[in-house]
Structure 1
Amino acid sequence: MFNQTDEINNLLTLMRLQNSYISEINKLIYAVISDMTLANNHEFCKFVNHFLEFSHYHYNSEGYSQAAQLVQTYHYVLLERLFDSQVLAAAEQMELAIGHLEMAARDTRIRLNPQILLLNQGILLMEETQLKIIETLEALLQSSNPAPQFQN
Protein backbone atom coordinates (compact mmCIF):
# COMPACT_ATOMS: atom_id res chain seq x y z
CA MET A 1 0.00 0.00 0.00
CA PHE A 2 2.88 2.40 0.77
CA ASN A 3 4.32 2.02 -2.72
CA GLN A 4 0.93 2.75 -4.30
CA THR A 5 0.57 5.86 -2.15
CA ASP A 6 3.95 7.07 -3.41
CA GLU A 7 2.95 6.32 -7.00
CA ILE A 8 -0.35 8.19 -6.61
CA ASN A 9 1.56 11.14 -5.11
CA ASN A 10 4.00 11.06 -8.04
CA LEU A 11 1.07 11.01 -10.45
CA LEU A 12 -0.49 14.02 -8.74
CA THR A 13 2.83 15.88 -8.82
CA LEU A 14 3.11 15.28 -12.57
CA MET A 15 -0.47 16.40 -13.08
CA ARG A 16 0.14 19.59 -11.10
CA LEU A 17 3.25 20.24 -13.20
CA GLN A 18 1.11 19.76 -16.28
CA ASN A 19 -1.36 22.31 -14.84
CA SER A 20 1.46 24.86 -14.68
CA TYR A 21 2.38 24.14 -18.30
CA ILE A 22 -1.25 24.45 -19.38
CA SER A 23 -1.54 27.79 -17.61
CA GLU A 24 1.59 29.13 -19.33
CA ILE A 25 0.48 27.87 -22.75
CA ASN A 26 -2.93 29.51 -22.24
CA LYS A 27 -1.18 32.82 -21.51
CA LEU A 28 0.79 32.47 -24.75
CA ILE A 29 -2.34 31.63 -26.73
CA TYR A 30 -4.14 34.67 -25.36
CA ALA A 31 -1.13 36.84 -26.19
CA VAL A 32 -0.89 35.69 -29.81
CA ILE A 33 -4.56 35.33 -30.72
CA SER A 34 -4.79 39.09 -31.29
CA ASP A 35 -2.37 38.63 -34.20
CA MET A 36 -4.75 38.48 -37.18
CA THR A 37 -2.36 36.20 -39.08
CA LEU A 38 -2.81 33.61 -36.34
CA ALA A 39 -6.47 34.30 -35.65
CA ASN A 40 -7.28 33.75 -39.33
CA ASN A 41 -5.13 30.65 -39.70
CA HIS A 42 -7.37 27.58 -39.82
CA GLU A 43 -4.71 25.22 -38.48
CA PHE A 44 -3.85 27.50 -35.56
CA CYS A 45 -7.55 27.70 -34.64
CA LYS A 46 -7.74 23.90 -34.75
CA PHE A 47 -4.64 23.75 -32.55
CA VAL A 48 -6.37 26.00 -29.99
CA ASN A 49 -9.53 23.86 -30.07
CA HIS A 50 -7.62 20.60 -29.54
CA PHE A 51 -5.48 22.19 -26.85
CA LEU A 52 -8.63 23.26 -24.99
CA GLU A 53 -9.99 19.70 -25.28
CA PHE A 54 -6.68 18.35 -23.97
CA SER A 55 -6.92 20.76 -21.02
CA HIS A 56 -10.47 19.63 -20.28
CA TYR A 57 -9.49 15.95 -20.19
CA HIS A 58 -6.39 16.71 -18.15
CA TYR A 59 -8.32 18.63 -15.49
CA ASN A 60 -10.89 15.83 -15.27
CA SER A 61 -8.14 13.22 -14.88
CA GLU A 62 -6.51 15.22 -12.12
CA GLY A 63 -9.86 15.33 -10.34
CA TYR A 64 -10.08 11.55 -10.52
CA SER A 65 -6.58 11.22 -9.11
CA GLN A 66 -7.25 13.58 -6.22
CA ALA A 67 -10.45 11.73 -5.39
CA ALA A 68 -8.53 8.46 -5.39
CA GLN A 69 -5.95 9.91 -3.03
CA LEU A 70 -8.47 11.53 -0.69
CA VAL A 71 -10.50 8.39 -0.13
CA GLN A 72 -7.45 6.11 -0.32
CA THR A 73 -9.20 4.13 -3.05
CA TYR A 74 -6.63 2.33 -5.11
CA HIS A 75 -8.92 0.00 -6.98
CA TYR A 76 -7.86 -1.30 -10.34
CA VAL A 77 -11.21 -0.42 -11.95
CA LEU A 78 -10.97 3.24 -10.88
CA LEU A 79 -7.42 3.54 -12.18
CA GLU A 80 -8.30 1.80 -15.42
CA ARG A 81 -11.28 4.14 -15.94
CA LEU A 82 -9.07 7.17 -15.29
CA PHE A 83 -6.52 5.89 -17.78
CA ASP A 84 -9.05 5.07 -20.50
CA SER A 85 -11.49 7.94 -20.20
CA GLN A 86 -9.29 10.88 -19.33
CA VAL A 87 -5.53 10.43 -19.63
CA LEU A 88 -5.55 8.73 -23.03
CA ALA A 89 -8.21 11.12 -24.32
CA ALA A 90 -6.04 14.04 -23.18
CA ALA A 91 -2.99 12.56 -24.91
CA GLU A 92 -4.98 12.10 -28.12
CA GLN A 93 -6.13 15.72 -28.09
CA MET A 94 -2.58 16.88 -27.39
CA GLU A 95 -1.29 14.94 -30.39
CA LEU A 96 -3.99 16.49 -32.59
CA ALA A 97 -3.14 19.96 -31.24
CA ILE A 98 0.58 19.42 -31.92
CA GLY A 99 -0.16 18.34 -35.49
CA HIS A 100 -2.23 21.44 -36.17
CA LEU A 101 0.36 23.74 -34.59
CA GLU A 102 3.03 22.17 -36.81
CA MET A 103 0.82 22.68 -39.87
CA ALA A 104 0.10 26.29 -38.87
CA ALA A 105 3.85 26.90 -38.44
CA ARG A 106 4.43 26.00 -42.08
CA ASP A 107 3.26 29.54 -42.85
CA THR A 108 6.43 31.66 -42.67
CA ARG A 109 4.55 34.60 -41.10
CA ILE A 110 3.44 32.35 -38.26
CA ARG A 111 6.66 30.36 -37.88
CA LEU A 112 8.68 33.56 -37.34
CA ASN A 113 6.39 34.76 -34.53
CA PRO A 114 8.43 34.50 -31.29
CA GLN A 115 5.31 33.48 -29.36
CA ILE A 116 4.92 30.45 -31.65
CA LEU A 117 8.47 29.40 -30.77
CA LEU A 118 7.52 29.59 -27.08
CA LEU A 119 4.32 27.64 -27.78
CA ASN A 120 6.33 24.90 -29.49
CA GLN A 121 8.74 24.66 -26.56
CA GLY A 122 5.89 24.61 -24.06
CA ILE A 123 4.01 21.95 -25.97
CA LEU A 124 7.12 19.74 -26.07
CA LEU A 125 7.44 20.00 -22.27
CA MET A 126 3.76 19.14 -21.90
CA GLU A 127 4.09 16.16 -24.23
CA GLU A 128 7.00 14.83 -22.15
CA THR A 129 5.03 15.30 -18.92
CA GLN A 130 1.98 13.60 -20.44
CA LEU A 131 4.15 10.62 -21.32
CA LYS A 132 5.39 10.45 -17.72
CA ILE A 133 1.78 10.63 -16.48
CA ILE A 134 0.86 7.72 -18.75
CA GLU A 135 3.89 5.70 -17.66
CA THR A 136 3.14 6.32 -13.96
CA LEU A 137 -0.50 5.38 -14.40
CA GLU A 138 0.46 2.24 -16.33
CA ALA A 139 2.79 1.25 -13.47
CA LEU A 140 -0.02 1.82 -10.97
CA LEU A 141 -2.38 -0.28 -13.04
CA GLN A 142 0.18 -3.03 -13.34
CA SER A 143 0.90 -3.07 -9.59
CA SER A 144 -2.79 -3.06 -8.67
CA ASN A 145 -3.95 -5.50 -11.32
CA PRO A 146 -6.13 -8.02 -9.53
CA ALA A 147 -5.17 -11.67 -9.90
CA PRO A 148 -7.48 -13.43 -12.32
CA GLN A 149 -10.22 -15.42 -10.64
CA PHE A 150 -10.48 -18.93 -12.01
CA GLN A 151 -13.66 -20.88 -11.65
CA ASN A 152 -13.68 -24.62 -11.17
Structure 2
Amino acid sequence: MPLFNQMEELNNLLTLMRLQNNYIHELNKLIYAAVSDMTLANNHQFSEFVNHFSEFAHYHFSSEGYSQAAQLVQAYHYILLERLLDGQVLAAAEQMELAIGHLEMAAREMQVRFSPQIMLLTQGILLMEETQLKIIETLEAFLESAHPAPQLQN
Protein backbone atom coordinates (compact mmCIF):
# COMPACT_ATOMS: atom_id res chain seq x y z
CA MET A 1 0.00 0.00 0.00
CA PRO A 2 1.49 3.42 -0.90
CA LEU A 3 2.69 5.55 1.99
CA PHE A 4 0.17 8.31 1.17
CA ASN A 5 -2.73 5.85 1.50
CA GLN A 6 -1.34 4.52 4.78
CA MET A 7 -1.05 8.04 6.19
CA GLU A 8 -4.57 8.86 5.02
CA GLU A 9 -5.91 5.68 6.62
CA LEU A 10 -4.00 6.42 9.83
CA ASN A 11 -5.44 9.93 9.89
CA ASN A 12 -8.93 8.50 9.33
CA LEU A 13 -8.38 6.02 12.15
CA LEU A 14 -7.16 8.75 14.48
CA THR A 15 -10.16 10.88 13.56
CA LEU A 16 -12.44 7.98 14.42
CA MET A 17 -10.61 7.43 17.72
CA ARG A 18 -11.04 11.10 18.64
CA LEU A 19 -14.69 10.97 17.58
CA GLN A 20 -15.20 7.87 19.71
CA ASN A 21 -13.63 9.61 22.71
CA ASN A 22 -15.90 12.61 22.17
CA TYR A 23 -18.96 10.36 21.97
CA ILE A 24 -17.99 8.59 25.19
CA HIS A 25 -17.42 11.91 26.93
CA GLU A 26 -20.74 13.36 25.74
CA LEU A 27 -22.68 10.20 26.61
CA ASN A 28 -21.13 10.21 30.08
CA LYS A 29 -22.44 13.75 30.59
CA LEU A 30 -25.90 12.66 29.44
CA ILE A 31 -25.82 9.60 31.70
CA TYR A 32 -24.77 11.71 34.65
CA ALA A 33 -27.69 14.07 34.05
CA ALA A 34 -30.12 11.18 33.48
CA VAL A 35 -29.20 9.44 36.74
CA SER A 36 -30.68 12.37 38.66
CA ASP A 37 -34.08 11.47 37.18
CA MET A 38 -35.50 9.01 39.72
CA THR A 39 -37.65 7.30 37.08
CA LEU A 40 -34.54 6.40 35.08
CA ALA A 41 -32.34 5.75 38.12
CA ASN A 42 -34.81 3.14 39.40
CA ASN A 43 -35.24 1.49 36.01
CA HIS A 44 -33.41 -1.85 35.94
CA GLN A 45 -32.72 -1.76 32.19
CA PHE A 46 -31.31 1.75 32.38
CA SER A 47 -29.08 0.70 35.28
CA GLU A 48 -27.84 -2.24 33.21
CA PHE A 49 -27.19 0.10 30.29
CA VAL A 50 -25.12 2.37 32.56
CA ASN A 51 -23.16 -0.62 33.91
CA HIS A 52 -22.41 -2.01 30.46
CA PHE A 53 -21.59 1.40 29.03
CA SER A 54 -19.18 2.03 31.92
CA GLU A 55 -17.52 -1.32 31.27
CA PHE A 56 -17.30 -0.52 27.56
CA ALA A 57 -15.61 2.83 28.30
CA HIS A 58 -13.26 1.14 30.77
CA TYR A 59 -12.20 -1.50 28.25
CA HIS A 60 -11.99 1.06 25.46
CA PHE A 61 -9.61 3.33 27.36
CA SER A 62 -7.56 0.59 28.98
CA SER A 63 -6.98 -1.32 25.75
CA GLU A 64 -3.23 -1.84 25.39
CA GLY A 65 -3.40 -1.36 21.63
CA TYR A 66 -5.48 1.77 22.00
CA SER A 67 -3.15 3.18 24.65
CA GLN A 68 -0.08 2.41 22.56
CA ALA A 69 -1.66 4.00 19.50
CA ALA A 70 -2.50 7.11 21.51
CA GLN A 71 1.09 7.26 22.82
CA LEU A 72 2.49 6.85 19.30
CA VAL A 73 0.26 9.65 18.06
CA GLN A 74 1.42 11.83 20.93
CA ALA A 75 5.09 11.08 20.13
CA TYR A 76 4.50 11.67 16.41
CA HIS A 77 2.85 15.03 17.08
CA TYR A 78 5.72 15.99 19.39
CA ILE A 79 8.28 15.19 16.68
CA LEU A 80 6.25 17.08 14.08
CA LEU A 81 5.94 20.13 16.33
CA GLU A 82 9.63 19.94 17.24
CA ARG A 83 10.50 19.99 13.54
CA LEU A 84 8.25 22.99 13.00
CA LEU A 85 10.20 24.84 15.69
CA ASP A 86 13.54 24.20 14.04
CA GLY A 87 16.54 26.44 13.57
CA GLN A 88 15.01 28.05 10.49
CA VAL A 89 12.03 29.38 12.43
CA LEU A 90 14.30 30.79 15.12
CA ALA A 91 16.72 32.19 12.52
CA ALA A 92 13.78 33.85 10.76
CA ALA A 93 12.71 35.44 14.05
CA GLU A 94 16.25 36.73 14.62
CA GLN A 95 16.37 38.20 11.11
CA MET A 96 13.01 39.85 11.71
CA GLU A 97 14.37 41.42 14.90
CA LEU A 98 17.38 42.74 12.98
CA ALA A 99 15.11 44.09 10.23
CA ILE A 100 12.93 45.85 12.82
CA GLY A 101 15.99 47.41 14.42
CA HIS A 102 17.17 48.77 11.08
CA LEU A 103 13.69 50.01 10.16
CA GLU A 104 13.44 51.81 13.51
CA MET A 105 16.85 53.43 12.93
CA ALA A 106 15.80 54.50 9.42
CA ALA A 107 12.58 55.97 10.81
CA ARG A 108 14.63 58.20 13.14
CA GLU A 109 15.99 60.17 10.20
CA MET A 110 13.93 63.27 9.59
CA GLN A 111 13.54 62.87 5.80
CA VAL A 112 12.37 59.23 6.20
CA ARG A 113 10.31 59.49 9.37
CA PHE A 114 7.10 60.79 7.81
CA SER A 115 7.23 58.68 4.66
CA PRO A 116 3.89 56.84 4.27
CA GLN A 117 5.75 53.71 3.14
CA ILE A 118 7.89 53.69 6.30
CA MET A 119 4.82 54.17 8.46
CA LEU A 120 3.04 51.26 6.76
CA LEU A 121 6.17 49.10 6.87
CA THR A 122 6.56 49.80 10.59
CA GLN A 123 2.95 48.87 11.33
CA GLY A 124 3.11 45.81 9.10
CA ILE A 125 6.37 44.45 10.48
CA LEU A 126 5.24 44.97 14.07
CA LEU A 127 2.12 42.92 13.32
CA MET A 128 4.31 40.27 11.69
CA GLU A 129 6.59 40.24 14.73
CA GLU A 130 3.63 39.78 17.05
CA THR A 131 2.34 36.91 14.89
CA GLN A 132 5.79 35.29 14.67
CA LEU A 133 6.18 35.44 18.45
CA LYS A 134 2.71 33.95 18.92
CA ILE A 135 3.58 31.10 16.53
CA ILE A 136 6.80 30.37 18.44
CA GLU A 137 5.06 30.61 21.82
CA THR A 138 2.27 28.32 20.63
CA LEU A 139 4.71 25.77 19.22
CA GLU A 140 6.72 25.85 22.45
CA ALA A 141 3.54 25.39 24.51
CA PHE A 142 2.48 22.48 22.28
CA LEU A 143 5.92 20.94 22.68
CA GLU A 144 5.74 21.27 26.44
CA SER A 145 2.25 19.80 26.65
CA ALA A 146 2.83 17.15 23.98
CA HIS A 147 6.17 15.96 25.32
CA PRO A 148 5.87 12.20 25.38
CA ALA A 149 5.85 10.81 28.87
CA PRO A 150 8.98 8.78 29.63
CA GLN A 151 8.33 5.07 29.44
CA LEU A 152 9.04 3.17 32.64
CA GLN A 153 10.91 -0.05 32.25
CA ASN A 154 9.60 -3.09 34.12
TM range (shorter): 0.3 to 0.5
Q: What's the TM-score once normalised by structure 2's chain length?
A: 0.46
Q: What's the TM-score once normalised by structure 1's chain length?
A: 0.47
Q: Which has the larger Rg?
A: 2
Q: Which has the higher contact order (CA 8 A, sep 6+)?
A: 1
